[in-house]
Chain A
Amino acid sequence: AQSVAQPEDQVNVAEGNPLTVKCTYSVSGNPYLFWYVQYPNRGLQFLLKYITGDNLVKGSYGFEAEFNKSQTSFHLKKPSALVSDSALYFCAVRDWAGRGSTLGRLYFGRGTQLTVWP
């Protein structure tokens, strides 16, 4: 079954330090992987995606993510965190080789609350 796990409900990091938000996935075929961010009282905002090719994907606002097929992970990273990065982050996966009604559905993790303190 397709699923996404974000093992940390909360990540705290000091401004200027590197940050990592973890994501692991399970799909029956090859994955399309996405990261979204949600600020308070706002909808989800697309950050970046992995489809194929280079395992390191660069996205908006200085974020990047590394696809690791052997570890089935797609961790979100940023070299130097900003206070304004504080938000809820969602990892999502689409299985393009799945079956039946689940084919193509986007599966979201529960979200990780990132807090960057000054």
Chain B
Amino acid sequence: ETGVTQTPRHLVMGMTNKKSLKCEQHLGHNAMYWYKQSAKKPLELMFVYNFKEQTENNSVPSRFSPECPNSSHLFLHLHTLQPEDSALYLCASSQDSNPRGSYEQYFGPGTRLTVT
């Protein structure tokens, strides 16, 4: 988790709230990712940004809106969520997201989100 920070670490929100998750990487990487981790399910890739440009949206509902103002910061804006959206949201970064690159991803500690 060193080098990638996420805030808040825990978030409880109602279905009509608007909130944002923040991720910051201090590793000089150019690619950033959002993942959703639910119990008993594989890690789900949500979004990929490479050099601030979104390169992948893995069929994520529009109630999740990412923003990447620069290569060090990534946000996930949340609006009108459902209880099934409760999960651990992980941010990661890598040197880049070149499909032929072998760069490993470095993860933040995650935000534990509970939607009531």
| A residues neighboring B (CB under 8 Å) | 32, 34, 36, 41-46, 49, 51, 90, 94, 96, 98, 101, 103-111
Contact = CB atoms under 8 A, between A and B. Distances in A.
Contacts of B105: 44, 46, 106
Nearest to A3: B42
Contact of B98 (A34, A104, A105, A111): A104
B66 interface: no
Q: Which among B56, B92, B104, B112 has the greatest number of chain A C-beta atoms within 10 A?
A: B104
Contacts, number: 57
A108 B109 contact: no
B102 A104 contact: no
A46 B45 CA distance: 17
Contacts of B110: 41-43
Interface of B: 1, 4, 6, 40-43, 45, 56, 90-92, 97-102, 104-110, 112
Given A42-B109, A43-B107, A43-B109, A104 B97 contact: yes
A5 to B, nearest CB: 10
- Give the dominant DSSP class at B's interface: loop
Nearest to B9: A41
B89 to A, nearest CB: 10
23 contacts: A34-B104, A36-B107, A41-B109, A41-B110, A41-B112, A42-B110, A43-B4, A43-B6, A43-B92, A43-B107, A43-B109, A44-B43, A46-B104, A49-B104, A96-B100, A98-B99, A103-B99, A104-B99, A104-B100, A104-B101, A105-B56, A107-B42, A110-B41
